[in-house]
Amino acid sequence: MFKYDLIVVGSGHAGCEAVLAASKLGLKSLLITLNLEHIALMPCNPAVGGPAKSCLVREIDALGGVMGIVTDATYIQMKTLNSSKGPAVRALRAQSDKKEYMSYMRHIIECNPNISLKQTMATSLIVENNEVKGVIDEFGLEYHAPTVILTTGTSLEGKCYVGLQYVNAGRMGERAATGLSESLIKNGLTLKRLKTGTPARVDSRTIDYSKMTIQPGDEQLRFFSFEPDRPIRKQYPCYLTRTTEKTHEIIKNNLDKSPLYAGLIHGIGPRYCPSIEDKVIRFANNPSHHIFIEPEGKDTYEIYVQGFSTSLPAEVQIQMLHSLPGLENVHIIKPAYAVEYDAVPALQLSHSLMTKKIKGLFCAGQINGTSGYEEAAAQGLVAGINAFNYLNNKEMLELSRSNSYIGTLIDDLVTKDIQEPYRMLTSRSEYRLLLRQDNADERLTPIGHKIGLISDERYQRFLEKQNKIEQEIERLKSQKVSPTEENNNILAKYNESIERGMKLAELIKRPNITYEVLKELDKDTRDLNLPSDVYEEAEIKIKYDGYIKRQNQQVETLDRLEKIKIPADINYDELTHISTETREKLAKVRPATLAQASRIGGVKPADISVLMVMLSRR
């Protein structure tokens, strides 16, 4: 019999973060995977970050996770999106070298003495008295542990479709995980079918890049990790092409060959990452769609055709790709395919990501109905931390909507009855001006240090940075710039002027004025030579001070409702003054606080008032 503190089933981005967090905290952990060569595989887009997702990666890093560090070590392009817009929607995106990413992550895992690896298929859970005790694999071997984290991705009873043909697989080239779904159902959990897909991979040597628009990386590099001394690597460009009228005609003429439109796939696909055939049908008035041509690594000619996900037959895919400018003679290395798989509706989980029915059993990643590497990694980190907390009778880590996108992600999953694969968007958060990628360390590093994943050395560097930010804010509030002719000549370049002496903090609040402009105006600002992450944070805090204060007031209002706890044993049938439908929703979700109850779809403010009265009587 094999004994561990924790068993993690699945070695994708959720599994890697989960096992590393738990093992760093001291748990003897077993990582079970279908294929050891696929640890930290990017089965779809070889990229990390983007709108909202970059916040997740930086929050993972601030808590002590590794996704940001691995991305910074293996990027082949770095680019800041929405750089001309406000700080709440700016987003860092990295094109990763797929093989290097996997190799780097596996090296980190194998260097940890608390982690054992096992290539096998977990086929059933060992559960006694509603507590998990371990798993059994396909060979009948038992692995015992008081905590188990399921991070199975798209593997559970997976089916991969190319046209009307399918193979049993979680990803093309890797077998499906069978048996575990049946075991979950047997132990009282309900499952649902979801669908996702991935585009074709093509040969770079058969692409005519002269017909495309180049998309280079940034000259001024930024990184995901808050750790210092990130590597400077050679960057490789991406390219932009578009669908044509011919592309759309080919798709429309072959819809009957799509497994989704033919009714073979019953799982619900991601609304925010639709297949190209979905785009053509749903946005019929749009004559063209962007298609990005992205390298999968620096030592391969395999190219990812971003935005061209499809499940149409291989011969149709060839016609479609040949209709794109620059791809007229392209060679397909791997066809696009759709995958349908089992998932666990996350209403069955608490905010700790532990299942409500089975103590010690956690779920993280796509099994919870999400899409994206970043969403998976964030959940894996939280599940790994809470597996440790559960074993050591510590308070569970339950991040809030007001302090993180991770908290928003998990709250949405466990509170709302989400039917489609969930993708993190900036619009998901009501506090996105507070939850920026630049201040993730300020929000979460103290939590990561308290947990034990952030070292004392790194925490001291964080405190020094925060001190520099506050000192610079105070300096800008006290130091003045005079209305000299020289200064007004500088300001005129930015369509600005001053008629009186003005504090630097007052001046930088103007839309056209940045910290770089202050450097032109003020010698002291130039001589300080502050790091960009320090002065940018100072600038944001001053420029958006009024908006930030307003959102902090909203947070205080929400906190009052968060502090009103709802007993776990409450009988919602006693709430006779609210509708049967609302009672059923409350009983299904069983919210932990009044604030969580207010976020359940269909629960009205009047229902919350009734619930508040009942709680006051108790």
- Range in 51-60, 281-290, 333-342 with the lowest mean pLDDT: 281-290
Q: Are residues 396 and 495 in the same domain?
A: no
Contact yes or no for 490/520 (Cβ under 8 A): yes
- pLDDT tens digit string along 481-531? 999 999 999 999 999 999 999 999 999 999 899 999 999 998 999 999 899
Q: Are residues 140 and 225 in the same domain?
A: no
- pLDDT tens digit string along 122-135? 999 999 999 999 99
- State the average pLDDT for the chain: 93
Structure-token pair, residue 254: 């072959």
Instruction: Check residue 88 and give its pLDDT.
Output: 81
Task: Give the whole-angstrom CA distance, residue 410 versus residue 418.
Answer: 12
Task: Give the whole-angstrom CA distance, residue 123 versus residue 107.
Answer: 27
CATH code (residue 535): 1.10.10.1800
DSSP state of 33: E
Instruction: Check residue 341 and give its pLDDT.
Output: 97
Structure-token pair, residue 155: 């593997």
Q: Is residue 558 part of a domain?
A: no
- pLDDT tens digit string along 529-551? 899 999 999 999 999 999 888 88
Which are the contacts of 479, defined by CB distance < 8 A and separation ≥ 6? 503, 504, 522, 524
- pLDDT tens digit string along 385-402? 999 999 999 999 999 999
End-to-end CA distance of the chain: 48
DSSP state of 125: E
Looking up tokens 């009714």 gives 263
What average pLDDT does range 404-426 have in this prediction? 93
DSSP state of 298: T
Task: Give the whole-angstrom CA distance, residue 39 versus residue 549.
Answer: 44
Handedness of CA 223, 225, 227, 230 (dihedral sign): negative
For residue 618, pLDDT beyond 70: no
Structure-token pair, residue 23: 């093992």
Q: Are residues 311 and 385 in the same domain?
A: no
Task: Give the whole-angstrom CA distance, residue 342 versus residue 194.
Answer: 6
DSSP state of 325: T
Q: Are residues 520 and 534 in the same domain?
A: yes
Task: Give the whole-angstrom CA distance, residue 435 versus residue 357.
Answer: 33
Structure-token pair, residue 76: 């082949």
Q: Are residues 492 and 584 in the same domain?
A: no
The residue among 69, 47, 78, 57 whose CA lies nearest residue 233 is 78
Give 198's pLDDT tier (boundaries 50, 70, 90): very high
Q: Are residues 447 and 355 in the same domain?
A: yes
Q: Are residues 330 and 358 in the same domain?
A: no
For residue 94, pLDDT beyond 90: yes
Q: Are residues 410 and 444 in the same domain?
A: yes
- pLDDT tens digit string along 349-365? 999 999 999 999 999 99
Q: Is residue 555 part of a domain?
A: no
Task: Give the whole-angstrom CA distance, residue 73 versus residue 230.
Answer: 7
Instruction: Check residue 555 and give its pLDDT.
Output: 84
For residue 608, pLDDT beyond 90: no
Handedness of CA 312, 256, 292, 84 (dihedral sign): negative
Give 553's pLDDT tier (boundaries 50, 70, 90): confident
Q: Are residues 484 and 539 in the same domain?
A: yes
Q: Are residues 295 and 368 in the same domain?
A: no
Give 560's pLDDT tier (boundaries 50, 70, 90): confident
Instruction: Check residue 602 and give its pLDDT.
Output: 74
- The CA distances from residue 176 to 181, 200, 226, 568, 573, in Å, are 11, 20, 37, 37, 42
- The CA distances from residue 218 to 46, 73, 235, 237, 535, in Å, are 18, 16, 9, 10, 20
Q: Is residue 539 part of a domain?
A: yes
Task: Give the whole-angstrom CA distance, residue 566 versus residue 129.
Answer: 25
Give 419's pLDDT tier (boundaries 50, 70, 90): confident
Q: Is residue 420 part of a domain?
A: yes
- pLDDT tens digit string along 440-469? 999 999 999 999 999 999 999 999 999 999
- Please count the structural domains in the chain: 4
Strands (E), 187-261: 192-198, 201-203, 213-215, 238-242
Instruction: Check residue 1 and give its pLDDT.
Output: 67
Q: Is residue 554 part of a domain?
A: no
Q: Are residues 441 and 488 in the same domain?
A: no
Give 614's pLDDT tier (boundaries 50, 70, 90): confident
pTM, 2 dp: 0.93
Give backbone dihedrals phi and psi of 568, rounded to 5 degrees, phi first. -65, -25
Q: Are residues 157 and 24 in the same domain?
A: yes
Q: Give the residue from 309, 340, 371 where a domain finishes.
A: 340
For residue 84, pLDDT beyond 70: yes
- pLDDT tens digit string along 363-380? 999 999 999 999 999 999
Handedness of CA 456, 460, 465, 469 (dihedral sign): positive
Contact yes or no for 10/150 (Cβ under 8 A): yes
Task: Give the whole-angstrom CA distance, residue 225 versus residue 67.
Answer: 8
The whole domain housing 576 covers: 563-617
CATH code (residue 609): 1.10.150.570
